[in-house]
Amino acid sequence: MAFEDVEPVEDKYWEPEKIGDNIEGNVYEIAKDNWNNDRIVLDMGDDANGNLMTTTLPAHAQLIRFIPKLKIGDYIRVELVKLIEPTKEQLKDDPDRKATRIYKVQKDPDRAQDYEF
């Protein structure tokens, strides 16, 4: 038998850019990133082969503040509701600074899911 190339699976990250961008799914886990920040990992359902698809939400301070109110299995909707542009002073200190993102997070108790790990 001949070998076939296997393509790597890229990590999927949600990066909202404009007000109104949103995502929904079940909280699959709260994972630590390389800088020890908590990040929400959402279950986005199964792909055509029955494999679990997940998306990792950003480690933005305004989003991390919701984590204590969430539990594994909660079905949530996260929406970017506001962008606060950096001030001239902030840009002077950090020219690459991006806008602060403000989120709204909602739960749908009827769509919660139990995970068995």
* 31-45 confidence digits (pLDDT tens): 998 889 999 999 999
Do 57 and 78 form a contact (C-beta atoms < 8 A)? Answer: yes
Q: Is residue 7 situated within a structural domain? A: no
| pTM of the model as a whole | 0.83
* pLDDT at 107 > cutoff 60: yes
Closest C-alpha among 38, 44, 47 to residue 70: 38
* pLDDT at 102 > cutoff 90: yes
User: Binning pLDDT at 50, 70 and 90, where does residue 86 land?
Assistant: very high
Domain count across the chain: 1
Do 40 and 72 form a contact (C-beta atoms < 8 A)? Answer: no
Cβ neighbours of residue 106 closer than 8 Å, sequence gap 6 or more: 76, 77, 79
Q: In which domain, by residue range, is 41 found?
A: 22-109
Q: Is residue 114 situated within a structural domain? A: no
Q: Is residue 5 situated within a structural domain? A: no
